[in-house]
Amino acid sequence: MSTPAHTDLPMPQDLPMPQSGTAFVPTNDEAQTAKEYTSDQEVRWCPGCGDYAVLKAVQSFLPTLGLRRENIVFVSGIGCSSRFPYYLDTYGMHSIHGRAPAIATGIATAREDLSVFVVTGDGDALSIGGNHLIHALRRNVNMTILLFNNRIYGLTKGQYSPTSETGKVTKSTPMGSVDHPFNPVSLALGAEATFVARTIDSDRKHLTAVLEAAAAHRGTSLVEIYQNCPIFNDGAFDAIKGPDKADAVIPLIHGEPITYGALLEDGRGSKAVVRDNGGVRIAPTLDVDPGDVLVHDAQDPDPSTAFAISRLTDAGYLNQTPIGIFRQVERATYDDQARAQLATARGGVSDADPQARLAALIGGGDTWTVI
Amino acid sequence: MTKQIKQLDRVIIRFAGDSGDGMQLTGDRFTSQSAAFGNDLATFPNFPAEIRAPQGTLPGVSSFQVHFADHDILTPGDRPDVLVAMNPAALRANVGDLPRGAQIIVDTHDFTKRNLAKAGYTVSPLEDDSLAEFAVHRVDLTGMTVEAVQEFGLSRKDASRAKNMFALGLLSWMYGRPTETTEAFLSKRFAKVPAIRDANITAFRTGWNFGETTEAFAVQYEIKPAPMAPGTYRNITGNLALAYGLVAGGVTSGLPLFLGTYPITPASDILHELSKHKAFGVTTFQAEDEISGIGAAIGASFVGNLGITSTSGPGIALKSESIGLAVMTELPLVVVNVQRGGPSTGLPTKTEQSDLLQALFGRNGEAPVPVIAPSSPGDCFDAALEAVRIAVTYRTPVMLLSDGYLANGSEPWRIPEVADLPAIDPAFATTPNHEVEGGEPDFWPYLRDAETLARPWAVPGTPGLEHRIGGLEKGDGHGNISYDPANHEFMVSTRAAKIAAIADSLPPLEVDDPTAADGDGAKVLVIGWGSTYGPIGAGVRRVRRVGGKVAQVHLRHINPLPKELGEILSRYDKILVPEMNSGQLRMLLRAEFLVDAIGYNQVNGMPIKAADLAEAIGDLVASTERSHP
């Protein structure tokens, strides 16, 4: 079993958005504690599961939002991580496999005064629920999606998942998987998601900073959380947590040149991300003109560069991956616009009495009277 | 010339043409004129699933049948007295339905060699004696239309498109229909294109004048208005009435409506209609698929809206798991199934009642869902309101089974007084309902109302009532996950008991058995559900007219069944169950009541014909009277 280790990643910056994701959610001025957000239910994940760390981080993070607890809703699908809502003393729904983004879309559209979170896994979000995920992302419904990616099916006891590497030997693939995996960040960027980030279960500080930025973002925030499954896929993320992590993690910070690896004397990493033929590649930092090192722009309206960066993630065993906020741009949300249409329609109505308006509606058209 | 005027008590007209000929509009206008005149009426649009099948071919034929009368009628009629055929394919596709002596009006312009071949005629039916038993009027509708609208400078193609209005004008003259509503309609519809507007109005008037002046049509018919109960009426289709019923349910419950749906024939018009009513607080969400549609509706219900999803059978198949979630989480939800021919994609534009068992049992586990069905287009309003009442009061998904025949068919509808509509109380939970040890208040989401067995509906934003629900089995009362065997058994039976308890809130089931009061009741009971109400009622009347004794019962609620139904069934020697399926209600009645119910089943995508059914009822009545004197 691997031990969680802090990666001490540089913190991503929370870029100010014109309107916060929680702009219309009632606030609570009193100090809140993690305990208040902890339900009375016994947590039943396997010992050593990465989900514990994420749960702790979320229970500590929620009070800092300063929102009224009764205005927070967690929705999940099916899978180990989807038990999450039971352990939080907020409103919550543990729904059915893959459908949490659809249910959350109804919740977020019906009520602007709720802060809506979706908890899902790689199987839940990317296999059975793939359609709902991409459509929530393109619509930009105001919600935060926590995608726990352990690259395996845990609750069904160890089959390969849509993020498992090709060739993976599991219970259902004794000769190795022949499926090509999804990269969740690439997928989200392809769906033109407005907020896309990746973080790690064991790095509480980075995880919390990303959560803060995601919750503050108005629109759909997709946060991929690399999460270790100690039972069925132990060590899947060891390379980015181990002693050589500096060579494995490519930190993304808005406005900063992207370098990583052993530090040079000038404080830059020894490896740099540079543009290359429409995409990006890794080069020794000292071999490139400092002006050619790619400066990360999470606010670029065009997702192409962010997509190119996302391709630096290994599709096989994870030896290298960018971590941080890939994209954070402003776009009108589905739910805000849907509510605005209702408000516009209501604004044109002079008679507020719904009974009279109903009578006018059903009594409209060509009518005749029998005496 | 002086025309003869002939009195009729009822007429059935069928307008038939190519999908692009505007037959639905023509039928709709004729219907509207007849409604304004005060006739009772019923309509039956029949069209292909293809938007524009190849022009002039049999698969491209679209038709609209309207039955209007000086008395109360129940169906759009079996066999048309008049067929308007705009081309050879329309004639060929419909002539088989005509009774001997029927009138046929054909547009001779389209009876070209090419069009005749497309319809499969080697010899023109206008030139041989194949139509000898009908009264055929050969009229160059297209030619006369083009000539009449010449002054508006339209292309020949555009000019000829007004031929449907010429036909409408002619038929309007034949049956003395008022013309004002159609002229007003055309003025409004084509307000932005004056040439088209004027051409259509001119074609309409020319058609009328042609009827009045030509010697080809010697007789004008008169069908007096039908006596109707006092009130204000409008003509309404089932889908429109259903959408209005849902809006009304939103008003009477005070709940915002949230429709999560995916377009599907023949249910899409409900989405189209509800999307117009944002001012009533109606949100419509066109989802990426059927599952997302119901998922979003469930989410909206969880946070205090009334979630609705509308679809047809294939969509229900996709939504089944989600309906199970709504059963488990006990949230209000209205699931509208406008049934069509199945299985699989089946017959998208045709009608069927073959999703009843799917509605009752089509889910994993024991997942009881109330099932209700409207009996006529106008009744869709009341059925939708009833669905809202049950969903909100009992915190349950409700299946509302309409069908293609009700959805697109229309009838005069007496507009209800809004003040008379019963209020529906959402009764949101606002305070804790339980104390934990030590006396601290707590909220238990599965602590039920003693009478209805409904669980409390506490919506996010309510402090102190935070709770989690989900698809895993819930512990009685506290609602936490429970794998306890005894608890599961208790919860299964409690969910069933809650749905069964809805029967306590239903009005007594009415039996139509006119001679029963004299102690000389019928021995045969005809029982149905949903849209077969019209054909069954018409069939029963025919049998009674010739002296047969027969009783009729029609079910609005199929789950739970009315409490007195078993006793009612036991009073009759024979039970006949007409359905547009292979015997689904019959199977249920046999299983529930151990009665030897007999089926009258038709699964051809078309409504049951009253005459055929009357014959079957008559035979059963005669044989029963003989064997049980």
Tell me whether residues B480 and A41 touch, CB distance under 8 A: yes
* Domain identity same for B307 and B416: yes
Domain count, chain B: 4
Average pLDDT score over chain B: 96
Q: With a cut of 50, which residues of chain A have pLDDT below it?
A: 1-6
State whether B283 and A338 contact (CB < 8 Å). Answer: yes
The pLDDT value recorded for residue B273 is 98
Domain endpoint, select from B165, B192, B222: B222
Asked whether residue B171 falls in the same domain as residue B61, the answer is yes
| Bridge partners for A73 per DSSP | A91, A116
The Cα of A117 is separated from the nearest Cα of chain B by a number of Å equal to 13
On the CB side of B593, CA atoms within 13 Å amount to 21
Same domain flag for B183 and B210: yes
Residues of A in contact with B251 (CB under 8 A): 354-355, 358
Q: What is the 3-state secondary structure (H, E, C) of B368-431?
A: CCCEECCCCCCHHHHHHHHHHHHHHHHCCEEEEEEEHHHHHCEEEEECCCHHHCCCCCCCECCC
- Residues of B numbered 212-231 whose beta carbons fall under 8 angstroms of chain A's beta carbons: which are they? 228-231
Residue B153 lies inside a defined structural domain of this protein: yes
- Write the CA distances from A328 to A17, A101, A130, B283, B335, integer angstroms: 9, 20, 22, 28, 38
**Pair (B605, B530) in one structural domain:** yes
CB contact under 8 A, A132 and B295: yes
* Distance between CA atoms of residues B315 and B320, nearest Å: 9
Q: Is A113 on the interface with B (CB under 8 A)?
A: yes
> Is B467–A91 a contact, with Cβ atoms under 8 angstroms apart?
yes
In a domain, B36, yes or no: yes
Q: Are residues B275 and B409 in the same domain?
A: yes
pLDDT at B184 over 90: yes
- In the predicted structure, residue B508 carries a pLDDT above the cut 90: yes
Q: Which of B273, B468, B469 is the mutation pick for testing A, counting most A CBs within 10 A? A: B468
Please check whether residue A71 touches B, CB under 8 A: yes
Assess whether B465 and B483 both reside in one domain: yes
On the question of pLDDT at B89 being above 90, the answer is: yes
B322 at A interface, C-beta within 8 A:
yes
Q: Both B352 and B301 in a single domain?
A: yes
Q: Are residues B183 and B285 in the same domain?
A: no
Quick check: is B404 in a domain? yes
What is the domain-level CATH number for residue B389? Answer: 3.40.50.970
* Residue B354 and residue B284 share a domain: yes
pLDDT tens string A4-20: 344 567 777 665 556 89
**With helix as H, strand as E and coil as C, how does B124-139 read?**
CCCCCCCCCCCEEEEE
pTM of this structure: 0.94
Answer with the one of B448, B471, B505 that is the final residue of a domain: B505
Does residue B227 lie within any of the structural domains? no
Q: Are residues B597 and B551 in the same domain?
A: yes
**How far apart are the CA of B309 and the nearest CA of chain A, in angstroms?**
12
Interface check for B281 against chain A (CB to CB < 8 A): the answer is yes
Q: How confident is the model at residue B395 (pLDDT cuts 50, 70, 90)?
A: very high
pLDDT tier at B322 (50, 70, 90 boundaries)?
very high
User: Do B27 and B164 belong to one domain?
Assistant: yes
Whether B581 maps to a domain, the answer reads yes
Tokens, residue B559: 């789950």
DSSP code for A296: P
Q: Which structure tokens are listed for B535?
A: 């054909």
Q: pLDDT > 90: what percent of chain B?
A: 95
- B117 domain residue, yes or no: yes
Tell me the chain B residues in contact with residue A369 when contact means C-beta distances shorter than 8 Å. 231-233
Q: Note the pLDDT tens digit of each residue in B133-148.
A: 999 999 999 999 999 9
Q: Does A155 touch chain B (CB under 8 A)?
A: no
Q: Is B36 on the interface with A (CB under 8 A)?
A: yes
Contact A342 B416 (CB under 8 A): no
Measured distance CA(B616)–CA(B600) in Å, rounded:
8
Whether residue B164 is contained in a domain is answered as: yes
Which among B162, B197, B222 is the end of a domain? Answer: B222
Yes or no, beta carbons of A99 and B307 under 8 Å apart: no
Do B241 and B373 have their domain in common?
Answer: yes
Closest approach of B479 to chain A, Cα-based (Å): 11
Answer whether A366 sits within 8 Å of B298, measured CB to CB.
Answer: no
pLDDT in tens, B448-501: 999 999 999 999 999 999 999 999 999 999 999 999 999 999 999 999 999 999
Boundaries of domain holding B599:
511-627
Give yes or no for residue B539 having a pLDDT over 80: yes
Q: Who among A94, A111, A356 is closest to B468 (CB)? A: A94
Q: Would an 8 Å CB–CB cutoff place A180 in contact with chain B? A: no
CATH (domain of B552): 3.40.50.920
- Contact check, Cβ <8 Å, B466/A358: no
The alpha carbon of residue A164 is apart from the nearest alpha carbon of chain B, in Å, by: 26
* Domain annotation covers residue B228: no
Predicted confidence (pLDDT) at residue B435 exceeds the cutoff of 60: yes
- Spatial separation of the C-alpha atoms in residues A207 and B359, rounded to whole Å: 46
Q: What is the ipTM of this complex?
A: 0.95
Q: Give the confidence band of B172 by pLDDT, cuts at 50, 70, 90.
A: very high
The CA-atom distances, in angstroms, between B446 and each of B177, B302, B452, B620 are 60, 14, 13, 51
Strand partners, B220: B5
Contacts of B292 in chain A (CB under 8 A): 99, 102, 105, 131-132, 135
